[in-house]
């Protein structure tokens, strides 16, 4: 089954549909926050602290890290949603975009927000499981082989991080 999800070119067409749905959802959400000019994660984060369904360890993280840096988290959420959406729509760095989407969905879920987060997390997990096949009909088709070949050439010619710094 895993091999089918990761290699079948016909199922790759299904991944495109799922990618476009998720990408559109992420992109419009992020652009809406940016365009409004009023998005502030601080209120959401404070509200999560008052929710009895929020796990204690997550509430501690929110209180100690997220709330004191609410401005940074606001920027990360807005632009993270935009970049996740673009990555999924264009099919570039698809697995990374899907994984970051799942991380954001779980962050929202842990903060007590249901909405479409469970559904989006499940679809994002499936895209991540699909691996490169999820980006077969997207820019990953050209970008990933190029990066892989470039990396091989650098390693072959001894141009690793250590030798470049010397």
Predicted model pTM: 0.87
Contact 147, 154 (CB under 8 A): no
> What pLDDT is recorded for position 4?
86
Between CA 48 and CA 54 the distance in angstroms is 7
Taking only the tens of pLDDT, the chain with its 166 residues reads: 888 888 888 999 999 999 999 999 999 999 999 999 999 999 999 999 999 999 999 999 999 999 999 999 999 999 999 999 999 999 999 999 999 999 999 999 999 999 999 999 999 999 999 988 999 999 999 998 898 899 888 888 876 556 555 5
Q: Angle, nearest 10°, between helix axes 94-110 and 117-130?
A: 150
């Amino acid at each position: 089954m895993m091999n089918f999800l990761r290699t079948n070119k016909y199922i790759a067409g299904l991944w495109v549909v799922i990618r476009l749905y998720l990408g559109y959802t992420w992109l419009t959400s992020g652009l809406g926050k940016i365009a409004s000019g009023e998005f502030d994660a601080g209120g959401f984060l404070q509200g999560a602290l008052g929710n009895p369904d929020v796990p204690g360890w997550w509430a501690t993280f929110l209180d100690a890290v997220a709330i004191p840096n609410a401005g940074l988290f606001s920027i990360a959420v807005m632009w993270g949603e935009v970049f996740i959406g673009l990555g999924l729509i264009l099919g570039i760095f698809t697995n990374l975009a899907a994984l970051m989407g799942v991380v954001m969905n779980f962050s929202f879920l842990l903060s007590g927000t249901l909405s479409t987060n469970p559904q989006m997390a499940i679809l994002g997990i499936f895209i991540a499981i699909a691996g490169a096949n999820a980006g077969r009909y997207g820019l990953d088709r050209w970008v990933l082989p190029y990066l892989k070949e470039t990396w091989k050439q650098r390693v072959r010619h001894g141009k690793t991080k250590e030798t470049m710094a010397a």
